[in-house]
Amino acid sequence: MNTEDINTHFDGLVVEANAEYRKEFLLFTNQGRLFKWYNKKKITSFLSNKQINWASELVLNQNERPIYGVGTSDYSGYMVFAFANGKVSKIDMKAFETKQERSCLINAYSLGSTLIFIKHIPNDLDLIIYSSSKKILVFNTEIINSLSTKYAAGVQILKLRSPSIAVGVKLLRDVTIQDLSYYKRNQAAIGYYLKPGDRVY
């Protein structure tokens, strides 16, 4: 399994580090569903197996596949979802907690626009969102109000001009930017072209 941060293509399943040591395991799919495991022994056993046949463990719909997994012991932090329309949502992890041990939740995130990024964050942080027209924007997730509605469509972060779409989101550690303030804004913006020497894509 790939333990790197998610990218636009969702070629494989991304599982956050140390997920096997948490009380519960949350597994999001490309069709907006969320599978939950509560058996810590099973979680540890399966996540230590690098060749898991998820289709044999989950009742998946046609063309459905897992894209992101995260472990939790207290449902702290947020889930961040970014979409091709330039919107980003920040959902309280508590929104995914259930009183009963439900195995599957529907509408785990908005399906109104193509998902391009999904990640659990313990605290607010800077992210880089970029478009098909090569514009990038740096923003901190603190500018997005957290919500308890799982399938919230999000707020506009990257302004887009047709036919441009948002195509990816990255963490600061994965890019090379000399002057962060040049790209960073505290509100929605159309983004900026890369300066010579900077690398994002």
The model's pLDDT over 111-162, given as tens digits with 9 standing for 90+, comes to 999 999 999 999 999 999 999 999 999 999 999 999 999 999 999 999 999 9
Distance in angstroms (rounded) separating the CA atoms of residues 20 and 86: 33
**Angstrom distances, CA of residue 111 to CA of 33, 54, 175:** 10, 22, 28
**How do the domains of the chain map onto residue ranges?**
14-183
Report pLDDT for 11. Answer: 63
Nearest-5° angle of CA 119, CA 125, CA 129? 65
- The H or E element that residue 47 is part of is helix 40-47
pTM of the full predicted structure?
Answer: 0.91
Q: How far is the C-alpha of 105 from the C-alpha of 120, rounded, in Å?
A: 17
The CA radius of gyration of the chain, in Å to the nearest whole number, is 17
Would you say residue 4 has pLDDT above 70?
no
| Right CATH for 14-183 from 3.30.565.10, 2.120.10.90, 3.40.50.300, 3.30.70.270 | 2.120.10.90
| Range 171-195 average pLDDT | 96
The predicted pLDDT at position 51 comes to 64
Please give the mean pLDDT across all residues of the chain: 89
Per residue in 162-178, pLDDT (tens digit) is 999 999 999 999 999 99
